[in-house]
Structure 1
Amino acid sequence: MTTHADILEVHDADRVRTLTMNRPDALNAFNGALYTELARALHAADGDPDVAVVLLTGRGRAFSAGTDLVEMAELVADGGDTRASTEEHGFNLLVDALIAFGKPLVAAVNGLGLGIGVTLLGYVDLAFAAQGARFKCPFTSLGVAPEAASSYLIPRLVGHQNAAWVLLSSEWISAEEAHEMGLVWRLCAPEELMTEATAHATRLAALPVSSLRAVKKAMTEPIGRQVAEARQRENRMFAELLGGPANSEALAAFAEGRKPDFTSLPDGA
């Protein structure tokens, strides 16, 4: 069965549900609608007895370019911090859905992964990446804080010093570097990515869902409190920084097509 939504494609085969983010012209950047649709799709898959595994990927040359900066700029202009403070905002709905998802979640990173496009990897159980994919956590270059417990989950995946560089520097990380540090599990030739990821997802999907759920719960339940606490810390920091001098300069530079200049900002900005 294949169905098509405007921004999220859903395909079912062999008890694997493939969710394809479909905003290729925007590099699959997450606007409120995509956050909400992916959250709904995860809830639906978790409750569907015909689905054992979910495979997440992107359409086009990007996995996801992160949060839609056009929408972020509009949010800042309106004077609100909806994303960090409102549970019903699509961003928080997606994070809640990722935490609650009880079946194996596999990612096939087909290209660029920025921001939430990297943060998602902290919630998946297996991550495959195409050779040539690149990763970036641009929080400091946007003048904001980490998100969705990434300050806790990414160090668990890659170790403290690798995570410190990824989160502090806003520098690009190659697919090979991501694989070496443990951010992704397997590297694949681009033309083999979906075949390889689907094959592994299908092998898992042939196993009893009750056991798959039990294994995942046993692995993730012990870190639930730490994830919740990390989200609270990050949301508080994000709310303090959003719309501040550094974030305003970053968004203005993005709109004007120039490199931001943070050197003249006061300490603490």
Structure 2
Amino acid sequence: MTLFEIIRISVGDVIEIALVTFILYQLYLLMRGTIAVQISLGLGALFAVQLVVWALDMTVLSTVFSYFNQVFVLALIIIFQPEIRRLLLVLGKNPLVRRLMRTSDQQEMIREIVAAVEALSNQQMGALIAVKQSTGLRNYIETGTPLHAEVSRDLLMAIFYGKNPLHDGAAIIGDRRVEAAGCILPVSTSMKLSPQLGLRHRAAVGLTEQTDAFVVVVSEETSNISISRDGALISNITPDELRTHLTNALAAGEGAGAKRASARAAA
């Protein structure tokens, strides 16, 4: 008979004990040097008294503690609010957690872009939005006004409002933020493009001829939505089609980025 059979501890129990120990140690590190340590000691002493009360079957004190237990969790949240906030910040900075949240953030960005483009189209407001992929767009970002703002429908609507000085240029989105607005993009000189296309459409194609960016165009004259990728232009698409194209483009861009990172690591 082995020691594990005598004590009746399974591998799962060992893993659970290790996890609990690790979590408690991390909580201690967060609370060390703060008043939370003294509060924890006080709560521990109170819990010990409660165990004694239950063991001795003290009716009155047991009733008092039962009322206390009903608000115990809420009291802990209020008392340890700063430590809980610090813990959440630490978790948020963890690379694994950030990777898990990345997809959710990307879907939110796509929703905001599509919502903005649909609203701009409905109001017949021209727009030019470039979404950075693996190729850097710093040269073009520096031609505009830096914003470094979170992507939102309202912000994109405000940028392309007719009386906004930035509305004639392009808004460039990178790393899920609007990096700059009023940016100047290279204009395509391709003879394959229709002569009826305006400057926005030619700029969209021009950028995608030189980079792997994904560009969305809203026509001020017709309110049609167009996209450009890899030097090609797809015109008159719906918001749902835009969502599909943008999702596929970003997914392909992330895959290409991962392959390049693996190649650099192997080299």
Higher Cα radius of gyration: 2
TM-score tier, shorter chain, comes to: under 0.3
Relative contact order (C-alpha < 8 Å, sep 6+): which is higher? Answer: 1
TM-score normalised by the chain length of structure 1: 0.27
More helix by share: 2
| TM-score computed with the length of structure 2 as normaliser | 0.27
